Amino acid sequence: MTKVLLVGESWTAITTHYKGFNSFVTGVYETGLEWFKKAMEKHGIELVHMPAHVAANDFPFNPEELDYDCIILSDVGADTFLLHPKTWLHGERTPNRLKTIQKYVADGGGLIMAGGYMSFQGINGAAMYQRTPIAEVLPIKMLSSDDRCERPEGVQPKKTTQHQITEGLPDVWPHILGYQYVEAKTEAETLAKVDDDAFLVIGEYGKGRTVAYTTDIGPHWCPVEFAEWDGYGILWNNMIKWASGS
């Protein structure tokens, strides 16, 4: 069974409610995994989820501890890996865990980055992967600033190349509501586009394989219509199997 580690795709929201003179605060913890988990179960993939707040402390320092066929980074910024609590709170030296991922891929692991407000360069440039080891590993070049392409009217990705990942999928896919702007590296292969923009790009790094998938795995950029499309699970299963070397 293919074993996948998904890091991120979780958030905590604190809201202050004002009722005239008075106010109160509420908090909520959420994940965006509803449809993704169902797809993994359907295709027999073992999914391990490491929420963003857990990854800050628990993501491994050593590549040998990453006993997975594929790692997915989804909506979790570079600082989560760079600023371990020992460094952030106590000023201690710690290994760079983005280099840990780089070594994991170079040694034969698979890496997928999915889009989101804290993926690639992210909202206001805050995800900040552009000048990290992950930029060397991924098959794309990132902007140095906010790279979001909001498309509230809906745009449809189109398959550009026949490949193991796009096998069994139609030429035009259901609409999405946004994605990240990236440019494919010269040696990479673009499998799908939104208009003229790269949408799904694959490449190799060392002995490993990498995928840039530039939209969310769930709402809001990935609307329910896309997440409940039969091709959603097929696409993710194919991406994971290819990145894993299957």
Assess contact for 74 and 5: CB atoms under 8 A.
Answer: no
Return the pLDDT at 13: 96
Going from the C-alpha of 94 to that of each of 57, 60, 61, the distances in angstroms are 11, 11, 8
**Overall average pLDDT of the 1-9 stretch:** 97
CA dihedral 228, 234, 238, 241 (to 10 degrees): 90
Going from the C-alpha of 26 to that of each of 13, 32, 174, the distances in angstroms are 8, 20, 35
Report residue 246's pLDDT band, with 50, 70 and 90 as the boundaries. Answer: confident
Return the pLDDT at 73: 98
Strands 148-155 and 176-180 turn out to be: antiparallel
pLDDT 10s digits, 218-240 = 999 999 999 999 999 999 999 99
Return the pLDDT at 129: 98
* DSSP-based three-state secondary structure for 61: coil
Looking at residue 181, which CATH number applies to its domain? 3.40.50.880
Q: Which of 188, 185, 156 is nearest to 172 (CA)?
A: 156
Number of domains in the chain: 1
Q: What is the residue whose two structure tokens read 């790692």? A: 71
pLDDT 10s digits, 167-217 = 999 999 999 999 999 999 999 999 999 999 999 999 999 999 999 999 999
pLDDT 10s digits, 19-71 = 999 999 999 999 999 999 999 999 999 999 999 999 999 999 999 999 999 99
Return the pLDDT at 145: 97
**Overall average pLDDT of the 74-79 stretch:** 98
Domain assignment of residue 75, given as a range = 3-243
pLDDT 10s digits, 120-147 = 999 999 999 999 999 999 999 999 999 9
